[in-house]
Amino acid sequence: MRIVESYSHLNGEEYLIVHHPKVYKEIKQVIAAVDASACLVKESKEKTMHGKRLYGPKRLNNEFAKLFRAKGWAESRYHYYVTTKRDYLQEMITLSPKEQKAFLISKGIKEPIKSYKQTDFVKDKIAIEVQFGKYAFVAFDLFVKHLLFYSGGIINVGVEVLPVKAMASDPKGGRLMSTGIAYYEGEVYNILRHGRNSPPVPLLILGIAP
């Protein structure tokens, strides 16, 4: 596959170029090594294109996972305790989960709620999410997951890899991906619409295609 477009939010790409050029090169190498044609394995059950061969999101994700894992990228989980009080959150954000629990108990909360967020590929404080899913999953990555890992000090930049709109279209007519799949142009538009500083985390969004 190849990178068709890219968008740097809050100097996410510039951070990689200056501080982690080798890792950035590695990300590009992994994308280039994925053979999209081998992932046309999904048989559509949608009425408008029943029986048509489409790109299989699971197969694409598995290909990326295999290549990233081979280069030392690993899953990371960020554990934390939930609070609905903003002033508590400001004090808790840099504490360990154990310290967060103790802090909430000291505030009179008898049974603090524990939770976690997981990201697939983390290395050198850089997180990568490869998304061939619905719009809601990408919004969660961009406005919740990357931000949580960033504010918790787990990462310094988040990278989101998305298909461009053209990847969903067959040049000879029809579609090559299921309907409702999020695409690069739409998600960059959503970020631009929120303003320059939202979400408040450095990001690099990459639009890819076969």
Q: What's the confidence (pLDDT) of residue 174?
A: 61
| Rg of the Cα atoms in the chain | 19
The answer for 111, left when phi > 0, alpha when psi is -120 to 50, beta otherwise, is beta
φ/ψ (deg, to 5) at 203: -135, 150
- Residue-wise pLDDT tens digits, 149-206: 998 889 999 999 999 998 876 666 566 887 788 899 999 999 999 888 899 999 999 9
92: number of Cβ within 10 Å: 21
DSSP string, the chain: -EEEEEEEETTHHHHHHHH-HHHHHHHHHHHHH--GGGG--EEP-SGGGTT-EE--HHHHHHHHHHHHHHTT-EEEEEEEEE-S-HHHHHHHTTS-HHHHHHHHHHTT-SSPEEEEEEEEEEETTEEEEE--SBHHHHHHIIIIIHHHHHHTTS-SEEEEEEE-GGGGB-TTSSBSS-TTB--HHHHHHHHHHH-TTSSSS-EEEEEEE-
Predicted local confidence at residue 204, as pLDDT: 98
Determine the CATH number of domain 2-78+118-209: 3.40.91.20
The pLDDT assigned to 171 comes to 60
| Residue 123: per-residue pLDDT | 96
User: pTM of the entire structure?
Assistant: 0.88
CA distance 133 to 180: 8
Which residues does residue 203 pair with via DSSP β-bridges, in sequence order?
9, 158
Q: In sequence order, what are the residues at sequence separation of 6 or more whose Cβ sits closer than 8 angstroms to the Cβ of residue 62?
A: none
CA distance 71 to 68: 5
Q: What is the pLDDT of residue 170?
A: 62
In the predicted model, residues of the chain with pLDDT beneath 70 are 48, 169-175
